[in-house]
């Protein structure tokens, strides 16, 4: 056979199908911008009229006031304390909940469904709603922020790790059953040691998210750097806001670098 005979046939062209898909997406996007049918009212005229004002605010944000940095140290330490405490307490609670939510570690269908229902309800509530309610319950400060991060972390870790456990084959559980081991013994001796890297990755990921989220939680009074950010924004001190945003960015990048290094050690 010649090379021409062995060559693959030309790939069929689907230009009409691609054009129809693009047209459908454009039409759907246009419909979402029509307020008459419940869409979002996009006022391009207002955007054009206020463009200069927005550019002024962005220019102020890009000129951070470094003399304001010492005042941000205390709130940033509060934010880091909330982030670490929330991730640490969630790490402890997430282990048994994850084992109860995963099918390989919990064959009881009713118990598994109950845990999953609670976790889904937890994940369905936005963190700002948690923070708003907790601020009303326990007062302004770091405590509602810590509780919000704890609830958020538990929902994320249990959901992701339990799904990862279910997506993995566990032949050693069958061997444990054949040897007469109980489910608790098999979970402790075989499944947990295999799952620690999954837990560790999600715990580190939760810690990274906590610093970002805590900056938003402060807007509703949950303490930390977010509370100072909202205060300076209320005074239109955008140079101070720019300093806070820059500090948050640096802290998040440093935590991410440390997390990546720890993940490499865990592999």
Q: How many CB atoms lie within 10 A of CB 6?
A: 7
Would you state the pLDDT for residue 187? 78
Would you state the pLDDT for residue 53? 78
- For 66-266, CATH number? 1.10.3720.10
Q: What is the pLDDT of residues 224-262, one digit of tens each?
A: 888 898 889 888 899 999 999 999 999 988 988 888 888
Would you state the pLDDT for residue 174? 67
Query: Does residue 49 or residue 162 have the better pLDDT?
Result: 162
CA 65 to centroid of chain Cα atoms = 30
Cα dist. 79→104, 208, 217, 267 in Å? 37, 12, 10, 29
With cut-offs at 50, 70 and 90, classify the pLDDT of residue 159.
Answer: very high
- On average, the pLDDT of the chain sits at 85
pLDDT at 196 over 60: yes
Region for 13 from its dihedrals, namely left if φ exceeds 0, alpha if ψ lies in -120 to 50, beta otherwise: beta
Q: What is the pLDDT of residues 5-32, one digit of tens each?
A: 555 666 666 778 888 888 999 888 888 8
Q: What is the pLDDT of residues 87-143, one digit of tens each?
A: 999 999 999 999 999 888 888 899 999 999 999 999 999 888 999 999 899 888 889
Would you state the pLDDT for residue 69? 92
pLDDT at 43 over 80: no
Please state, in angstroms and rounded to a whole number, the distance separating the CA atoms of residues 6 and 149.
60
Mean pLDDT of 174-196: 76
Q: How many CB atoms lie within 10 A of CB 165?
A: 21
Would you state the pLDDT for residue 183? 75
- State the span(s) of the chain assigned CATH 1.10.3720.10: 66-266
Please state, in angstroms and rounded to a whole number, the distance separating the CA atoms of residues 38 and 32.
8
**70-84, 164-178, 241-255: range with lowest mean pLDDT:** 164-178
């Amino acid at each position: 056979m010649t090379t021409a005979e062995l060559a693959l046939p030309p790939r069929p062209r689907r230009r009409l199908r691609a054009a129809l898909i693009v047209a459908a997406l454009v039409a759907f996007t246009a419909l979402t911008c029509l307020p008459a049918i419940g869409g979002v009212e996009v006022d391009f005229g207002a955007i054009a009229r206020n463009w200069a004002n927005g550019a002024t605010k962005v220019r102020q944000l890009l000129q951070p006031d470094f003399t304001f940095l010492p005042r941000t140290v205390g709130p940033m330490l509060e934010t880091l304390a909330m982030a670490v405490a929330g991730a640490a307490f969630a790490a402890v609670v997430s282990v048994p909940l994850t084992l109860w939510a995963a099918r390989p570690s919990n064959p009881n269908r009713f118990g598994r469904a109950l845990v999953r229902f609670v976790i889904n309800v937890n994940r369905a509530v936005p963190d700002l709603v948690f923070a708003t309610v907790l601020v009303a319950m326990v007062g302004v400060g770091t405590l509602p922020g810590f509780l919000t991060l704890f609830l958020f972390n538990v929902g994320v870790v249990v959901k992701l790790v339990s799904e990862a456990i279910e997506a993995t084959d566990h032949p050693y559980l069958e061997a444990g059953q054949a040897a007469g081991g109980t489910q608790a013994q098999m979970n402790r001796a075989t499944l947990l040691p295999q799952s620690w890297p999954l837990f560790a990755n999600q715990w580190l990921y939760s810690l990274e998210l906590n610093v970002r989220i805590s900056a938003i939680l402060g807007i509703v009074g949950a303490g930390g750097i977010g509370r100072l950010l909202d205060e300076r924004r209320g005074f239109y001190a955008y140079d101070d806001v720019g300093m806070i945003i820059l500090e948050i960015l640096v802290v998040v990048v440093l935590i991410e670098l440390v997390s990546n290094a720890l993940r490499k050690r865990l592999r």
